[in-house]
Chain A
Amino acid sequence: MLEPANTAAAPRGKLHAIVAEFDDVTAVTEAAKRVRDAGYTQFDVYSPFPIHGIERAMGVRSTRLPWIVLACGLSGTAGALLLQWWTNAVDYPFKISGKPLFGIPAAIPITFELTVLFSAFAAFLGMFALNRLPRHHHPIFEHPRFKRATDDGFFLAIEAADTRFDANRTRELLQSLSSHPIVACDEPADDGATPRWVRAGLVSVAVVALIPFALALASRFQDSSKPPFHIVGDMDWQTRYRAQAANPHYADGRAMRPDVAGTVAFGELATDQVLATGKTGADWTTKIPLTVDAALLQRGRARYGIYCAPCHGIAGYGDGLVAARASELQEPTWVPPASLHDAVVRGRAAGQLFDTILNGVRTMPAYGRQIPRDDAWAIVAYVRALQRSQNATTEDVPPAARAAMGL
């Protein structure tokens, strides 16, 4: 006989399915084959674990889940490549550690990760979506012994929606297969849908949750003159002493600490006083302390061209490009650079020229930070040669060369 599942007085809906129970895998698999062979398509087998080969017994077609996963995975690949290319090479291009703005080798790891991430979500969500889950309420749960389906029971339900369904014939078929009582499960009158207030609540929560994002998005398109919001200010406003500020901790009241007396910078140990300062005792040396040869002069010429010629001019007349431009603009504060061929300059000792290069004079800045000591001496040597070239006499030309020069 056909036992109704919900014997309580609850109002009954229309018939959902007729359910048979089985004790083991073999019986339910055999039954599935018989039901399939009888031409039913809208039926299902319920078991506590996946039964090997039941799809074939039931005639279930292979799922299209792999295709969904493939499509999502490929969009993950494409999305990752686009994201990396657009953000790092188009919208905000910056060079770092000599890598191309968008290089395939460096893009592979993230592309791979996003491909896997998208595919995994597709597999997970796709599986539940194709299974029409979550669905917390289902007519089959009305079956009084259905709790065994997640423990050790096996059930076969032929649904009323099947075109071949006939309450009596279907029941007879199932009775011939199962030794357990056959049960009819009805659709509950109440369709089990989520109550309206729950749905309304969920929608409201979702809307409220979106507000911060909407505000953030809106502020992206607004200008503001307010200072940025600082959550923790100690990196923005640090307690520290600025350069040249006073600091009461020290006797001299200075925040910037001078070098300890006797500190020597790397490579600047002045063992040779003449070489380092241009002075012998208190007087300027008149002799260049390096060997003056063609190499030194060439070096001096090159350094002079870089550091001196812009103001003093290539020939040393104080007519360099900077000076020319300044006088063209009639800069009121501009002090024209000295001509190196003035008698005063020519009369200066080599040591004094050296000192001027390193430490500057009047408005000429000090070049000691740019020009190494030996280079400064090379420049002095070259300046001496320059001075001599502009005040040379025939006597200075070697006799052998005079004829060639027409002298």
Chain B
Amino acid sequence: MTLRLNTDFAAGLFGLLFAAILWFPRESMGRLSIIFPRAILVITVALSLALIVKAFTKPAAREVTIEGNPRRLLMMIAVLFAWWYAIDLLGFLLATAIVFFGLTWYLANVEGAVSGRRLVQWVPIVAVLIGVFYLAFTEVLSVRLPTGIWS
């Protein structure tokens, strides 16, 4: 998918917004703490303004191409954040089992409809994959993974 977007303008605008977020809370800090971030903030604003000026005089590109399916792209982002939320809520093991299986099914649909038999065949594969990493982290590396509501 190709979007009409002046990338110089977008980059400049992002730089200004990012600088603005960090600019306002600086008042409560001492000189030694703010001297460097303030200098970088000023440079960031200058670079952003230069990009915005360039966007109107000599723009680099007026369109961006998103390779692949935008719906799958947004779905993947949503799944990653949902995975994070679910781990806190349900614990690592249960959340990962649900999200991993669901994501595998969703992505496999790209190549065509997934039959019930294939889904059943995946269960041991997914279980082994999750189990190996779960045991590696909890037993070998002694990492206490979140247990969510089961704690």
Q: Do the two chains bind?
A: no
